[in-house]
A and B are shown apart, each in its own frame.
Chain A
């Protein structure tokens, strides 16, 4: 039986890097999962943009998030944003990150992405992002909103193919 859950690409950093992107994502899969550990040079949110051939940098992103700080739980929202959000990563310890996109290559619906963010220090969070575009996703670029990704950051993009 053909593999259902396949690694598509992996990036592991040996030095600092301003952003990480995966391009030319095949539309042969049903869902993709981007998962790994993120090391940061400064504590900040990890943001991302999506696109098909070119990145959408318009105000077409929004999100709803749930977080726990260790002493309180809360929720917030972002609307009409120019980027999606994958949560906060500290500068001292790595963050475990998973971004899931279901039916990412369909051209009939907007794209909803689920994020689980588990930093070693800082807020644990679950985030639902919306990209208001019916375009297929074939590229994703992650960028910290300050500083850079650090050495040891490792992210793998997996494709899941439904029957």
Chain B
């Protein structure tokens, strides 16, 4: 069942079992705010995996900002990230090794960029409640600005065996802008 869900989401057209992929919560910002948090409160107990689908734009006047993805209010140096990206002229790779304070979300579009344009992210957190292992995230994302932009494949890790009970996204500069949207989905096994 979960294989069908993952395959249906990212690869071949295998029909998912629709009752296994459920919407948990969502938010579309009517005004800017500094961060967004999704918390469990018991609603995640039925799920094996989580998917966070994001469309955001920062308020900072720069063209791009970085973002932080953190779990369970942990802002300690317990994260790492790796990134494969294309910037329109070359492919590259970078990393924030173990000892970082978040999973790094890179090259997020901000207010200095082409208007009405947003960065999209699809963040998968598999086996988020397992207490026997650290947590790994998979991210597909990007933005295009008609002459600028980046597409990237990222991995991130939270070096903690606790079940994930909350997740938070914030930016290194400025706020999350109006019309930014965040939708959390749970996937059953």
Contacts and interface: CB of A to CB of B under 8 A. Distances in A.
B8 interface: yes
Interface in B15-54: 15-16, 18-19, 21-26, 28, 53-54
Contacts of A162: 23, 26, 53, 183, 185
B91 A110 contact: no
A64 B11 contact: no
Contacts of A31: 53, 183
Interface string A133-163: 0100000000000000000001110101111
Contact of A30 (B18, B26, B90, B179): B26
Nearest to B183: A162
Contacts of B87: 64, 75
A79 B117 CA distance: 15
B168 to A, nearest CB: 19
A134 B115 CA distance: 11
B117 A35 contact: no
Contact of B145 (A75, A114, A126, A130): A130
Given A4-B22, A112-B117, A67 B86 contact: yes
A96 interface: yes
A102 B13 contact: no
Interface in A9-31: 10, 30-31
Contacts of A79: 146-147
B9 A128 contact: no
B122 to A, nearest CB: 7
A69 to B, nearest CB: 11
A158 B120 CA distance: 18
A3 B19 CA distance: 6
Q: Is the interface of B mostly helix, strand, loop or mixed?
A: strand
A88 interface: no
B151 interface: yes
B132 interface: no
B140 interface: yes
A79 B88 CA distance: 11
B161 to A, nearest CB: 29
Contact of A114 (B24, B114, B120, B147): B120
The 6 closest A-B pairs by CB, nearest first: A66-B86, A75-B86, A128-B142, A36-B13, A77-B88, A162-B26
Interface of A: 1, 3-7, 10, 30-31, 33, 35-37, 62-68, 73-77, 79-80, 96, 98, 100, 102-103, 106, 108-110, 112, 114, 116, 118, 126-130, 132, 134, 154-156, 158, 160-163
14 contacts: A4-B22, A5-B185, A35-B10, A64-B149, A64-B151, A66-B84, A74-B91, A77-B149, A79-B146, A128-B120, A128-B144, A128-B149, A162-B183, A162-B185
Given A66-B86, A73-B84, A132-B146, 7 more contacts: A3-B18, A31-B183, A35-B13, A66-B84, A98-B9, A126-B86, A126-B153
